[in-house]
Amino acid sequence: MGIYPQTTGSWMFTAGMAMATVILMRRLWRRPRHSRKEQPLARPTRDRPAGDLSQDVLRWQVEMHELARDLKGELDSKIRVFDALVRQAREERQKLEALLRDASLQERRRDSA
């Protein structure tokens, strides 16, 4: 019972995906959460005058846009890393498949000789 070339690529891809997930999750857990420890956002209250309310809402909107931009940047960088890992896994899979083909050809030659 040997390794079947049809399933080897699937297993390698799955292993690569699992490894990428573990690496990205470890980075996320180790990263300091300085942006989340900042002051909580000021929520508008009804006992303030309307002018103060509009300033609070504008400040809140600006903070939300900055947070969205930061999160988008993090996601974009993680997507780039993930794409690179997928590309690397595909290249390694192709190398392994070529080695398996070569090994099976050599085994056939040895059996026929």
Q: What is the pLDDT along the chain (113 residues), one digit of tens a residue?
A: 455 666 777 888 888 888 888 888 888 777 666 555 555 555 555 565 656 678 889 999 999 999 999 999 999 999 999 999 999 999 999 999 999 999 999 998 888 87
| Neighbouring C-beta atoms of residue 89, cutoff 10 Å | 19
73-82 long-range contacts, CB within 8 A, separation 24+: 78/24, 81/20, 81/24, 82/20, 82/24
Separation CA 111–CA 113 (nearest Å): 6
Q: Judge if pTM exceeds 0.85.
A: no
Q: Note the pLDDT of residue 111.
A: 86
DSSP 39: P
**Angle between helices 5-30 and 50-112 in degrees, nearest 10:** 150
Look-up of token digits 């180790």 = 30
| Neighbouring C-beta atoms of residue 41, cutoff 10 Å | 11
Quote the tokens at residue 58. Answer: 């504008």
